[in-house]
Amino acid sequence: LLNTGGARRLDGVLLETVSAPDLHVAVFGAGHVGRALVGILAGLDADIRWIDDRDGMLTEAPQSVSAIQTASPTVAVAAMPPGSFYLVMTHSHALDLGICAAVLERGDAAYCGLIGSATKRRRFESHFIELGLDQARIDTLTCPIGIGGIAGKQPAAIAIATAAEILRIYERRRAGREVAT
């Protein structure tokens, strides 16, 4: 929760207006890129959930991050609020496919990003079509992830490019909401 200012006293009681962050991010996978990405995102005023199916992988979760070890990571998709950002980078292509399919089936993500190449994206698109997902939903998948122009393949470079992409989309969406209200 963040203090939005406006502290005042009422009958001797100090009242402060607080609000929950409106940036909700689920990071699936605790490999090298997942760790680097969570380390960057942890510094934001955001609801960050780091999800992995393997025991002992989330032991270094920053205090501001909710670490969720679960045998069924796809279940965590349903727990996210509408308009969430999903970053999928697990140790398993089958698991990545299931998580992405669950996000796309929801149809309310601000962003669904999958680590990988254009070739991986094409393979996943074929599977999504077999699952009966319509092309409009499939087209919302971002793969590869990260802002353009970053050539580095080190986990930190991928994490920085991906965090920048998330922030750019989030701030544009937020500016649009502020203008509309």
Q: Among 8-17, 37-46, 109-118, name the one with the lowest average pLDDT.
A: 8-17
pLDDT band for 160, please (50, 70, 90 cuts): very high
Distance of CA 29 to CAs 37, 83, 111, 124, 128, Å?
10, 20, 16, 18, 21
55-90 pLDDT, tens digit per residue, is: 999 999 999 999 999 999 999 999 999 999 999 999
pLDDT band for 13, please (50, 70, 90 cuts): confident
